[in-house]
Amino acid sequence: MSGKVTLVGSGPGSIGLLAPRGREAIEAAEVVLYDQLPGEEILATLPKGAELVDCGKHGGDHTLEQDEIEALMIARAKEGKNVVRLKGGDSFLFGRGGEEMESLRAAGIEVAVVPGITSAIAVPEAVGIPVTHRRFASQVTVITGHEDPTKGESALDWRLLGQSRGTIVVLMGVKNLPQIAVALVENGRSPKTPVAIIERGMRPDQRVTVGTLDDIAGIARAQSVRPPAVIVIGDVVSLYDGTTLFRP
């Protein structure tokens, strides 16, 4: 008899923000395939008696490729095991949870999901940056920063993004930040648009770096900004006053 796979979004990294249903799923798991983004606080609580498989990214290298992760989940579930796939944030927002769901369904494996709090909203919120605000932004767009805007064909509409007056939240965008800033300005966004980079959001070593589209790349380089980080672009960043509203 086949087992079951539960896709658990752990939220931004604070154990207090991991849903009780997610904690229950982890505690009952016989196999846990985990990424690094859940953070040390959550990873330290994984059940010692379970098979723990590190699927994270270390120094730019993946310990397991996506197809290997999916194959391992399927294999363990077919052995009758109760499997948890643990991710940071929410599994269905740039977490490849949708792809994993498809693969598991195609293999006839039962799939459940525990939604997680997405860092795209929670991390800016924790430092007093609302991604929407009646005076500043009535829409928010969340994009992946993995994609280099200078490549031949882009899945992102940079013309539309540049002309938008709403908030843009970029996940996984530290490496391509210079190209992202240039693409937005070239497509109509003011070079003076405020930008905030929130590194290691909602963790004890959280750091916020602010600037504008025309200088943020240089500031980030000078400050040695590193992932993981959430980048917020838009007038809502002007509400940041240096305080933190959430303490882990």
Please give the residue that has the higher pLDDT: either 3 or 2.
3
Is residue 55 located within the same domain as residue 133?
A: no
Tally of domains in the chain: 2
DSSP strands (E only) in the chain: 4-9, 31-34, 51-54, 57-58, 61-62, 82-87, 110-114, 140-144, 167-171, 194-199, 207-212, 229-233
CA triple 154-172-151, angle to 5 deg? 25
Residue with tokens 């860092």: 119
Q: Is 8 exposed, middle or buried (0-12, 13-18, 19+ CB in 10 A)?
A: buried
Q: Say if strands 194-199 and 229-233 run parallel, antiparallel, or are unpaired.
A: antiparallel
The dihedral region occupied by 59, where left means phi > 0, alpha psi between -120 and 50, and beta the remainder, is left
Residue with tokens 């003076």: 192
Is residue 132 located within the same domain as residue 106?
A: no
Is residue 104 located within the same domain as residue 163?
A: no
What are 198's strand-pairing partners? 208, 230
In this predicted model, what pLDDT tens digit does every residue of 105-151 receive, in sequence order?
999 999 999 999 999 999 999 999 999 999 999 999 999 998 767 76
**For position 146, which CATH number holds?**
3.30.950.10
Residue 61 CA to residue 165 CA, distance in Å, equals 36
Is residue 126 located within the same domain as residue 110?
A: no
The range of the structural domain enclosing residue 172 comes to 119-239
Residue 247 CA to residue 245 CA, distance in Å, equals 7
Instruction: Single out the residue of 95, 93, 90, 69 nearest to residue 5, CA to CA.
Output: 69
Write down the pTM of the prediction.
Answer: 0.91
Is residue 148 located within the same domain as residue 170?
A: yes
Considering the domain boundaries, does residue 152 fall inside one? yes
**Could you tell me the two tokens for 200?**
């290691």
Catalytic residue positions?
35, 57, 172
In this predicted model, what pLDDT tens digit does every residue of 11-50 receive, in sequence order?
988 889 999 999 999 999 999 999 988 888 899 999 999 9
**For position 74, which CATH number holds?**
3.40.1010.10
Is residue 172 located within the same domain as residue 189?
A: yes
pLDDT higher than 90, residue 202: no
Contact (Cβ atoms closer than 8 angstroms) between residue 187 and residue 216: no
